[in-house]
Chain A
Amino acid sequence: DAKTTQPPSMDCAEGRAANLPCNHSTISGNEYVYWYRQIHSQGPQYIIHGLKNNETNEMASLIITEDRKSSTLILPHATLRDTAVYYCIVNAGGTSYGKLTFGQGTILTVHP
């Protein structure tokens, strides 16, 4: 699986958009980009995933650059409950049998 690089921490004001970047410069053509978040002492929560097109769901939007070497997770109106560790993961499936390689992630702190 390709490695990902995320900033260790970010701050965001409540009600504003939170834009979390992720670099995955060695991603290969069959690898998807997944985003999960983990609130302290809970299991990771799936947010969104994509291959090359931008994606949006009720939680967030995922913007993937045209060369697929980086992506941005957007939380359009951050709330205090969005404070968590956010993980960007690339997953090829296939011979990697779906193993998710979680790095250090980005600690997002949403403040009033």
Chain B
Amino acid sequence: DGGITQSPKYLFRKEGQNVTLSCEQNLNHDAMYWYRQDPGQGLRLIYYSQIVNDFQKGDIAEGYSVSREKKESFPLTVTSAQKNPTAFYLCASSMRGGRDTQYFGPGTRLTVL
């Protein structure tokens, strides 16, 4: 099956711990994105990557870090510097970025206790 996978679906962490969310795609897409969604709100862009070994900050990058060492993988680390990390995190990919259609994974719901 082609698509985007995110794991785990639910994640619980203690305050002050870093946590890494996984995102993998087998669509051969160049561009990948991370969004955050809070209850009743739209999505906000955290980071994006248009090609391997390159990534850029989105609108709310503070407290987050990413890497793009492989085309199919774009992990997101939520650091202890993120003041309000509890949220629904969504990964997306598109063929090249720009106006190309973005396809989303199922999401990871992170709860920091």
The interface of chain A, by Cβ under 8 A from chain B, is: 32, 34, 36, 41-46, 49, 87, 91-94, 97-105
Contact of A104 among B4, B42, B58 (CB under 8 A): B42
B102 lies within 8 A of A46 (CB): yes
Bound CA–CA A32/B101 (angstroms): 10
Q: How many A-B residue pairs have CB under 8 A?
A: 66
In the assembled complex, the CB of A39 is this many whole angstroms from the nearest CB of chain B, namely: 11
- Contact residues in B for A92 (Cβ distance below 8 Å): 99
B88 lies within 8 A of A100 (CB): no
A105 lies within 8 A of B103 (CB): no
* Size of interface on B: residues with Cβ below 8 Å to A: 31
In the assembled complex, the CB of B105 is this many whole angstroms from the nearest CB of chain A, namely: 5
- Contact residues in B for A49 (Cβ distance below 8 Å): 101
Q: List 10 A-B contacts (CB under 8 A).
A: A41-B107, A41-B109, A43-B6, A43-B92, A43-B104, A43-B106, A49-B101, A93-B97, A100-B43, A104-B40
Main secondary structure of the interface of B (DSSP, over half): strand
The interface of chain B, by Cβ under 8 A from chain A, is: 4, 6, 31, 33, 35, 40-43, 45, 48, 50, 56, 58-59, 88, 90, 92, 94, 97-107, 109
- Contact residues in B for A102 (Cβ distance below 8 Å): 42-43
Bound CA–CA A44/B41 (angstroms): 13
- Contact residues in B for A105 (Cβ distance below 8 Å): 42
A91 lies within 8 A of B99 (CB): yes
Contact of B99 among A42, A93, A101, A103 (CB under 8 A): A93
Bound CA–CA A46/B103 (angstroms): 7
B100 lies within 8 A of A42 (CB): no
* Given A43-B106, A44-B90, A97-B97 contact (CB < 8 Å): yes
Bound CA–CA A44/B4 (angstroms): 12
In the assembled complex, the CB of A84 is this many whole angstroms from the nearest CB of chain B, namely: 13
* Given A43-B106, A102-B42, A93-B98 contact (CB < 8 Å): yes
The residue in chain B whose Cβ has the minimal distance to the Cβ of A51 is B99
A43 lies within 8 A of B105 (CB): yes
Bound CA–CA A34/B92 (angstroms): 15
